[in-house]
Amino acid sequence: MEADDVLAYLDSHPDFLSEHAQRYGLRPVQERVVSFADRQLLDLKDRNRQLEARLAQLVRHGEQNDQTLARTHKLSLALMKAATLSDVHAAILQVFAEHFGLNRVAVRLWHDAASDTQLYNARQDVRLLAGNLSAPYCGPYANDEIISWFPAVPVLQSFAQLALREGTEPFGIVVIASDDAQRFSFDMQTHYLAQMGELISLAMLRVLKA
């Protein structure tokens, strides 16, 4: 049988290759018959699309991290310039409002040196809460005492709570609140928040012990 005869037969029996694809190392894809090499190429293209999507996601995360680092740097500079407890408190509120877009921030201390200031709060439930924060808390819950530190409007939907520590002993807490339920979620990374807590702790202790 000549090649022309084979081609003529295939032309007159278009389903032949589909019906016998496995025998000849062919695979049907979307009602077409492609070679195994073609199938591998399609698989590689699909994997390439997945990798491109993953890369785009990593780039977005990298840009967000760069943004957070720049904002944390602003906080560091502002805290370094602060000479008094009032200055440190004002710097925290200003940086979070101007650079993070967060204007619901509360700071409370139970350090003895802050006992005659408006920031002092030695309530046992607050101290226990800070003592239990091995890492910053992010989520929708805050106790009644913390909620009372903020205006009633807007209704706050998520909170970040950072313990301020001297060594391992908490002496204060910073609570950042938002009316956006997704701003501080259970699954968010808290690495940068923990660093901010350390920066604020050092600045607070510097002025409290001055």
User: Which tens digits make up the pLDDT trace of 147-166?
Assistant: 999 999 999 999 999 999 99
Which residues lie across from 32 on neighbouring strands? Answer: 29
Count other C-beta atoms under 10 Å from residue 93's C-beta: 16
**CA 120 – CA 83 distance, rounded (Å):** 19
pLDDT for the residue 31:
47
Which residues on adjacent β-strands are paired with residue 147?
A: none
pTM of this prediction exceeds 0.75: no
Q: Which of 151, 138, 135 is nearest to 183 (CA)?
A: 138
pLDDT at 14: 63
Share of the chain above pLDDT 70, in %: 82
Helix then strand count (H, E) for the chain reads 7, 6
Q: Measuring CA to CA, which residue among 68, 63, 104, 109 is closest to residue 85?
A: 109
pLDDT score recorded for residue 13: 63
Nearest CA to 108 out of 200, 14, 185, 209 is that of 200
Which tens digits make up the pLDDT trace of 71-92?
999 999 999 999 999 999 999 9
Segment 116-145 shows an average pLDDT of 96
**pLDDT tens by residue, 6-38:** 556 656 666 655 665 566 555 554 445 556 667
Mapped onto helix, strand or coil, the DSSP state of residue 26 is: strand
Residue 197 has pLDDT above 50, yes or no: yes
pLDDT at 1: 58
Residues 6+ apart with CB under 8 A from 210: 84
How much is the pLDDT for 64?
Answer: 76
In degrees, to the nearest 5, what angle opens at C-alpha 183 toward C-alphas 177 and 188? Answer: 115
Structure tokens at 28: 């049907």
